[in-house]
Structure 1
Amino acid sequence: GDDYADPQYKKHFRLLLQAITEKRRVEISFISGKNESVRKEYLPLQLEYSAKDDKFRLKAVCERHLHYVNVGRIKSCRLLEQTGEEACMLLEPERCAVTVLLTDERNALERAMLHFSHLEKITERLDEKHYRLQLMYNKSDETEMVIRILSFGPLLRVQEPAGFIELLRHRLRKQLALRAKE
């Protein structure tokens, strides 16, 4: 998780909150997931907490695209004078849906309802142990959705869309290749 006691982390967090409140742009330097140094201007929209990773991520607009930046990876952050209200109005997140079959063993239904509580969903009971769930999410959260669904193992089986099933397969192949290298 993030180092919440770090004074630099606290400073960045407060500055990002101020930028969100005042709808002001920020210039952020951070280390990407690929260990590359990045410096860009962003319009912060919100801070999101991931209970699974115990981290905060900044949801922000950069060049009309939605980006996520892990707050713990930020090296420097400064508030800019210009506002970015026009970018907020231009950005409409792409909505997606995934349909899964859930087998209610080991309290899976209750865990899924809690795990996906922040999402809009339709739940249909098929029989005593089986449910169909349709989960709606933003396209930008697709990787997170793949990881969350995989965390349920065989208790959640994706029915559709085919593109999402292919994302799951790709992720599993990637994990198998990493294990083979060990």
Structure 2
Amino acid sequence: MLLLLLLLLLLLLLLLLLLLLLLLLLLLLLLLLLLLLLLLLLLLLLLFLPPPPPPPLLLLLPLLLLLLPLLLLLLLLPLLLLLLLLLLLLLLLLLLLLLLLLLLLLLLLLLLLLLLLLLLLLLLLLLLLLLLLLLQLLLLLLLLLLLLLLLLLLLLLLLLLLLLHHHHHHHHHHHHSQ
């Protein structure tokens, strides 16, 4: 939102500058027109009046004084235009920078999201590994239990065999004594 507001403000500034430019141009044009009119009047006067003696410098001085600022203005006009162009360029650069900042922010957000996803994947992998380890441990335990059971069974079988053998022998002996 802030960025949007800034952009709008910049655009408004641009428009204002353009308007100022136009106004300046209009003023300069008016001044030029006035100058031309004055020159025309002078020419007409010179033409219609009988050629006077060469006018004294004192009469020419006010004219010169009038003409100097106008000449200065004319000289300054390109400079003013250049300055305005530079300002416009600067504003455009600012706009571009803002856009770049926006893009960078978006990229950063994307990177953060990617990192989060990677972390989640890693966690999942770790969990899977742990589960596998647990399964292996369980399998090992089961195997051990089976082995123990087998051993117990073997022991029981041996005991039974021994008992049977002993009992049988004893019985046989008893029969013989009769």
TM above 0.5: no
Structure having greater relative contact order (Cα 8 Å, sep ≥ 6) = 2
TM-score if structure 2 supplies the norm length? 0.17
* More strand as a share of residues: 1
What TM-score do you get using the length of structure 1 for normalisation?
A: 0.17
Greater share of residues in helix: 2
